[in-house]
Chains A and B, each alone.
Chain A
Amino acid sequence: MFKSHIKEPQWDTSVFLEDVSVHYRIPSESIKTFKEYIIKLLKGQIKHESFSALRRIDLDVKKGEIFGVLGRNGAGKSTLLKVISRVLIPSEGRVWINGQISPLLQLGAGFHPELTGRENIFLNATLLGHSHDDIEQKMDEIIDFSEIEDFIEAPLRTYSSGMQSRLGFAVATAWQPDILILDEVLSVGDIGFQKKCVNRMSKFRDRGATVIMVSHSVNRIQEICERAIWLDHGEIKILDTATTVCEIYKKALSV
């Protein structure tokens, strides 16, 4: 098992995890209601089982690095991304992040059907933590990218689902992130729009964003990434160059 010896983030560190664990406490039987909870609590019948989604993870991703995460379903990949993007505060350990992170937002979550496209851009972008002035600056670019100029003053409920996800994507990627999180494959809208998305992602990468990429496709990771980890049952099995990790991962899978 890999153990890091670096105990402090360095000047060129982008994402730094030290001894990070995430434990979910799952009640041994499902308690759905408050009434049930109170009764069980009084009777002393509440028992929890602990499930560790991540165990003692050490990680030091450098600025501008393209970093791959491999692992089967349930290995802790999405939990790792959640910890990095501050959605989940780890049960133990330290998370140190330098820079803006691209959102994991499901496209269009947080939209409101009664508001116009423009109003929804403001709402969604402030949810992502941008200020009013920042949004105003990017407004034309967002509208342009989402290809809905003609409908921007119409309420969102009149939009097709394709238009909604294009708008969501345009807002989510309007700002150059320092850390870009790529989870599986993007599939938004038609092929033409997908191409635009891929281009935009590549542009972020070329401008020096740190990329953390999660994929089931070993070949893609091997192709693009410099280093990679193999996550297994919430632990780092190996951390090495992408080529080495992918070779070992492929071998392990074929056995």
Chain B
Amino acid sequence: MKQNISTSSKSNVYDSAKRKHPAIEELLALFRYRDLIYQLVRRDIVARYKRSVLGVAWTMLNPLGTMLIMVVVFSQVFRTTENYSAYVLTGIICWTMFSQSTSMAMSSMVWGSQLFKQIYVPRTAFVVSTILASMVNFILSLVPLFIVYAMTGVQLRPSALLLPISMLFLFSFSLGVALLVSSIAVFFPDVADLYPVVLTAWMYLTPIIMPLDFYREILNGILLYINPFYYIVNLFRILMLDGFVPHLQTWVATAVSAFGILIIGWIFFSLRADRFAYHV
């Protein structure tokens, strides 16, 4: 009799007794729903740019505008930093990608949790698609970055070819943090209000606007070493601005902080995901 079960339908059997670990189950489900991810990413991008003519341009102008302000305000203060505008713009676009994508992931989860009460959708789908859509924006914002590089005389070296790896780290880190904060935000909406404050503090603890030397002088640079985002932005700047391929230990430190956060976030999220629909 048993073999009939498997042959009767195109293996469409769902058995809650045979579920694997939630984190693995979620990964498999996400793969099955890959067309959904594509549609959600597309929706995010199309919806953002459809109504405004300047849509795509805004993505590029925004970090440029912030950079201009920083250059005007701080170039007198941080006279020592060589090519401050390239330094600050590189930092800003990395930070913008991270802070915007994680904030947006939270609101897309709150939207998605309405759907979770009605249909089965892989719970990570909304967070993953939001981060992917932000990654597309990040790639667009590389255009003004390269323009500023050209204008300020930054010579790109072969190390710049490793940029995709650096972007993978940025993506993993953002996804990991997004999963952590959005799984909490489903239960406590005030986390969404709290998070921008945390982000602001975090930004000033990271060498985004202020020069690296400033942080190196505080407590022997301990602020840098305990800050996982430092490794991400630092690798980015080394590859693009300093133009050399760093030591293995820099790679390892960056990979550990990026993938470590991703794995922690993924497991934390998956373990809580079953409770989402219970939360009325």
Contact = CB atoms under 8 A, between A and B. Distances in A.
A123 B274 contact: no
Interface string B24-62: 000000001101101110110011001100000000000
Contact of A97 (B8, B14, B117): B14
A100 B47 CA distance: 31
A25 B32 CA distance: 31
B224 to A, nearest CB: 28
A94 B188 contact: no
Given A88-B278, A123-B43, A94 B15 contact: yes
Given A88-B278, A94-B15, A106 B5 contact: no
A254 to B, nearest CB: 33
B117 A90 contact: no
Nearest to B125: A127
Contact of B191 (A11, A34, A85, A95): A34
Interface in B1-23: 1-2, 4-5, 8-9, 12-17
A104 B118 contact: yes
Interface in B233-280: 274, 277-278, 280
Given A104-B119, A127-B121, A89 B8 contact: no
B5 A34 contact: no
Where chain B touches its partner, the secondary structure class is helix
Contacts of A110: 115
Interface residues of B, number: 44
B35 A178 contact: no
B12 A178 contact: yes
Contacts of A86: 14, 120
Contacts of B40: 123
B116 A87 contact: yes
Contacts of B51: 114
Interface residues of A, number: 47
B88 to A, nearest CB: 33
B115 A127 contact: yes
A9 interface: yes
B120 A94 contact: no
Contacts of A28: none
A82 interface: yes
Nearest to B29: A129
Contact of A11 (B4, B46, B117, B119): B4
A2 interface: no
Given A87-B120, A96-B16, A109 B114 contact: yes
A112 B47 contact: yes
B273 to A, nearest CB: 9
A225 B43 CA distance: 42
Contact of B9 (A90, A98, A115): A98
A35 B190 contact: yes
A132 B277 contact: no
Given A82-B277, A109-B114, A98 B46 contact: no
A114 B2 CA distance: 49
Given A96-B14, A96-B16, A126 B33 contact: yes
Given A95-B14, A126-B35, A127-B36, A34 B194 contact: yes
B15 A96 contact: yes
Contacts of A251: none
B184 interface: yes
Nearest to B49: A114
Contact of B12 (A99, A112, A122): A99
Interface of B: 1-2, 4-5, 8-9, 12-17, 32-33, 35-36, 38-40, 42-43, 46-47, 50-51, 114-121, 184, 187-191, 194, 274, 277-278, 280
List the 10 closest pairs (A to B, CB-CB), nearest first: A11-B4, A34-B188, A126-B36, A33-B190, A86-B120, A95-B16, A94-B17, A89-B274, A114-B47, A97-B14
Interface of A: 9-11, 13, 24-25, 32-35, 37, 82, 85-90, 93-100, 103-106, 109-110, 112, 114-115, 119, 122-123, 126-132, 155, 178
10 contacts: A32-B189, A34-B190, A89-B274, A90-B16, A94-B16, A103-B119, A106-B118, A126-B33, A127-B119, A127-B121
